[in-house]
A and B are shown apart, each in its own frame.
Chain A
Amino acid sequence: MSTENKAKEPLFSTKNLKLITKQLNLSNPITVQVLGICSALAVTAKLMPAIVMSISVLVVLAASNVVIALLRKGIPPRIRIIVQLVVIATMVILVDQVLKAFVYDVSKQLSVFVGLIITNCIIMGRLEAFAMSNKPWPAFLDGIGNALGYGVILVMIAFLRELFGSGTLLDFRIIPQGFYDFGYVNNGLMILPPMALITVGVIIWVQRYYTRELIEEN
């Protein structure tokens, strides 16, 4: 990471753009770095909560990355975890209050999982690994990139689960009534928690099949 010639470097240089694009596949937070699994699985029975969750994580991650990157020289290393948690918790409280004010139904569905963004390991992990040692602008891009990588997987899982589990997308009926008349039945298993895990497993399988360098030994 060369930060010396930052002043001359354009805001959207290739290196900076790479911070975003890399997270979508090669170092995707969920399927490769294994961060932030808890919330990814719990909120994906329907598409709407998944999208709201992704946006909340995007806001919290980008904002706390920037704040920590600004403060990085002033944080004593021994108490950095507490400082990071306080910054994250403040952002999450803001997001929680906004959600309660504008999309109350979705915020009820997400229940404790908005609060659990605090302990979402993506945020802690990126603060620790990136924001503590980089300038605010790259940290901001890194936050956006990771949150997008997270959001893509979330939306993919929620799309599959809602389509096959309830036959709807964003509560609009997709599978026509005619199918049901011929005896098509919604797959109730897709709504249940364990299928979220199996869906992620299959997504990882497909991704690694096409990106061979991610395959693990053992």
Chain B
Amino acid sequence: MQEIFNIFIKSIFIDNMVFAYFLGMCSYLAVSKTVNTSVGLGLAVVFVLGITVPVDYLLNEYVLKEGTMIWLGPEFADVDLSFLSFILFIAIIASMVQLVEMIVEKFTPALYSSLGIFLPLIAVNCAILGGSLFMQEREYQNIAEATSFGLGSGVGWFLAIVGIAAIREKIRYSNVPPALRGLGITFIITGLMGIAFMSFLGIKL
């Protein structure tokens, strides 16, 4: 139990998707103009990461890894499909996003209209595929750990995008050098936020 909680905290603060690995930067930079929209996108990312990482974990454990197809019968014992992981993970993500979109539309129309166009965009957010690939690389022990990693990474991404959106709303009133306006200053602020987040590196879990 404690291990699961540790993974959650670690993936929010220490291995933060944006500041430590730069994942999901494209939508992070494009959608962070106002706090409201960035909250919507952030929630959608938490949601999708929390679903796709465990599903991809099961896929990896029972189909892709070498020798794990044995449940189909002894003749499958030495099948190694790990080279297919990219294409299967992205297919799972794309279909999950589609599924989540339909479920949300059916049961909570209010949330659906507030997330709007962001849900389909998530399929090509690198943070989602990155979550699955890191899950595969770090070899989590069971599905609970994988789920807490997925949710934690999502929450970390959420914190990052809401933070930068709040700063960008304020910085509109400052006198930034013309050539640095917009994109340039956003990069530099993100860098400074990254340095701030590095102070969590000292935490031992």
Q: Which of B3-11, B23-31, B43-51, B58-66 contacts the other chain?
A: B23-31
**Chain A 42-97 residues near chain B, CB threshold 8 A:** 42, 81-82, 85-86, 89-90, 92-93, 96-97
A contact residues around B137 at 8 Å (CB): 111-112
Q: Is B126 an interface residue (CB 8 A)?
A: yes
Contact (Cβ within 8 A) A38 B25: yes
Interchain Cβ contacts within 8 Å, total number: 141
Interface size class of A (residues with CB under 8 A): 35 or more
Contact (Cβ within 8 A) B94 A82: yes
In the bound complex, how far is the Cα of B93 from the Cα of A33, in angstroms? 25
Contact (Cβ within 8 A) A194 B19: yes
Q: A85-B90, A116-B130 are in contact. Are A204 and B21 (CB under 8 A)?
A: no
Q: Is A34 an interface residue (CB 8 A)?
A: yes
Interface size class of B (residues with CB under 8 A): 35 or more
Interface majority SS on B: helix, strand, loop or mixed? helix
- Give which listed residue, B191, B195, B198, contacts A201 with CB less than 8 A: B191
**Chain A 13-47 residues near chain B, CB threshold 8 A:** 31, 34-39, 41-42
Instruction: Please give the distance in Å from A130's CB to the nearest CB on chain B.
Output: 16
Q: Is B194 an interface residue (CB 8 A)?
A: yes
The chain B residue sitting closest to A111, CB to CB, is B137
Instruction: Please give the distance in Å from B42's CB to the nearest CB on chain A.
Output: 17
Contact (Cβ within 8 A) B22 A119: no
A contact residues around B91 at 8 Å (CB): 82, 85-86
Instruction: Please give the distance in Å from B204's CB to the nearest CB on chain A.
Output: 19
Q: A90-B87, A115-B133, A192-B198 are in contact. Are A216 and B182 (CB under 8 A)?
A: yes
Contact (Cβ within 8 A) B86 A115: yes
Q: Is B144 an interface residue (CB 8 A)?
A: no
Contact (Cβ within 8 A) A197 B194: yes
A contact residues around B109 at 8 Å (CB): none
Contact (Cβ within 8 A) A193 B26: no
Contact (Cβ within 8 A) A197 B188: yes
Q: Is B99 an interface residue (CB 8 A)?
A: no
Q: Is B179 an interface residue (CB 8 A)?
A: yes
Instruction: Please give the distance in Å from B48's CB to the nearest CB on chain A.
Output: 13
Q: A37-B22, A115-B86, A116-B23 are in contact. Are A81 and B94 (CB under 8 A)?
A: yes
- Give which listed residue, B86, B182, B194, contacts A93 with CB less than 8 A: B86
Q: Is A104 an interface residue (CB 8 A)?
A: no
Instruction: Please give the distance in Å from B128's CB to the nearest CB on chain A.
Output: 8
Contact (Cβ within 8 A) A115 B187: no
Contact (Cβ within 8 A) B183 A204: yes
- Give which listed residue, B26, B128, B133, contacts A121 with CB less than 8 A: B26
Top 6 closest pairs, chain A to chain B, by CB:
A194-B194, A216-B182, A201-B187, A197-B191, A198-B191, A201-B188
A-B contact pairs, 12 of them (CB 8 A): A38-B23, A38-B25, A41-B25, A81-B120, A86-B87, A93-B84, A116-B126, A194-B19, A201-B180, A202-B188, A208-B180, A218-B181
Given contacts A35-B26, A37-B29, A89-B90, 4 further A-B contacts (CB under 8 A): A82-B94, A193-B21, A208-B180, A215-B181
